[in-house]
Every structure is written in C-alpha cells, then in structure tokens.
Amino acid sequence: METDPRIDAYIARQADFARPILDHIRRLMHGVGLDLAETIKWGMPHFTYKGRPFAGMAAFKAHATLGLWNGKGLVKGTGAGGEAMGQFGRLTAIADLPPEAELAEILRRAAAAADAGITARPKKPPKPELPAPDDLRAALDSDPRAAATFDSFPPGSRREYVEWVVEAKRPETRSKRVAQAVEWLAEGKRRNWKYENC
C-alpha cells in the first residue's frame, strides 16, 4: 500500500499521546495483507478496501479512535458504551487496542464481510412517488419546457421540488415557490442546482 502524504501531515500535527496510536494503526493496516489504500475523508485518515470505505482513524484532544465500516458484530462492545466513535472506544494508548494479532484478524473478518456484500447499513427502501400538487402541476402544464424537465427527472429530484412547494407555510410563499420552480425547471435545473458542482 502506498502512503498518502496527507496522512503523514495529519499524524504529525496530533498530540504526543495520539501519534503512536495512529502510527500503530497505520502500520497494522499496511501489514495485514489486504488490498487497502490510504486517503483522507471528512478531514480524517481513512483506508479503503477495493475502492470502498473500510476503516477510519482520528485523533481528538484527549483520545484517538478507530472505526471499521463493516465492524458491527466483529468487535465486542461499541466504543466503550458509545463514548467515542468507532468500535474500540477512547484510545489513549496503544494498549487500549486489542493485541496486534487479534486486531489483524478483526480486519480480515471485516474484509471478508465486505467481500460477501455485507454492509454496515442496509439500504433503505425507496420512498414512494410523491405526486405534484394541483397548483404546481397546473403551472408546469402551462410551460411545456418546465413540464418536460420535471417529468424527465428521477423520482427523488421531482420529490425535492414537490416537498419544497408543499412545505411553504403561507399561500404567498407557496405561490412564489411554484413560480420559481417553473422558472428553474424551464432552464433544466434541479431544485438544488446552486449546490451542484461545488
């Protein structure tokens, strides 16, 4: 596994107690014999397995953490009663982790779970289709471009517009949102187009 210089920099700026813990975890990840890669996600060091999230580590003011994406059921306890993220609780020394051979076996079992398609979070069933309210549908039908865009969107994108319109508390606000929706849809824009490509 190649090292990521961003992780070197992350570890270097941590407190004295945390650096050995993070170095130990990183060395173990490199030595466990799995197809892992280093990266930074959400500002913290992470390891991916075959391109998918596998494990993350972090350091805080008084503790460090290690969390496995597919670690549920592989480690007894869950973060010392929920006091810290990850399955290993608040790490203040290397001794707070399981012995090296045991931790390596936990990592191999997590990789096997990932290979078997077991995920940390089961997929939620899709939300049912949310029909456009009459005022929005009438406004869309008065502008063929807007109607065509709306009707071509996937259900989730249509839902964003519908929810935005029906959540308006005052009739004036709802009317403004209907008009704005038709304008954006005529331009081919999704509801949250301002945040796309950020």
pLDDT of 117: 77
Domain assignment present for 126: no
Domain extent for 173: 134-195
pLDDT of 29: 95
Sequence letter at residue 81: G
What is the model's pTM?
A: 0.58
**147-151 contacts at long range (C-beta below 8 A, 24 or more positions apart):** 147/185, 149/185, 149/186, 149/188, 149/189, 150/185
pLDDT of 100: 93
Q: Whats the size of the chain, residue-wise?
A: 198
50 and 107 in a single domain? The answer is yes
Domain end point (choices 65, 85, 115): 115
190 and 109 in a single domain? The answer is no
Describe the chain by its helix, strand, coil percentages, rounded to 5: 45, 15, 40
Nearest partner of 116 among 73, 79, 85, judged by Cα: 73
pLDDT along the chain (198 residues), means of 10: 91 96 95 92 93 93 90 60 74 94 92 78 76 96 96 93 95 97 95 74
Biggest CA-to-CA distance, the chain: 69
Provide the number of structural domains found in the chain: 2
Nearest partner of 101 among 46, 1, 33, 3, judged by Cα: 33
pLDDT of 45: 96
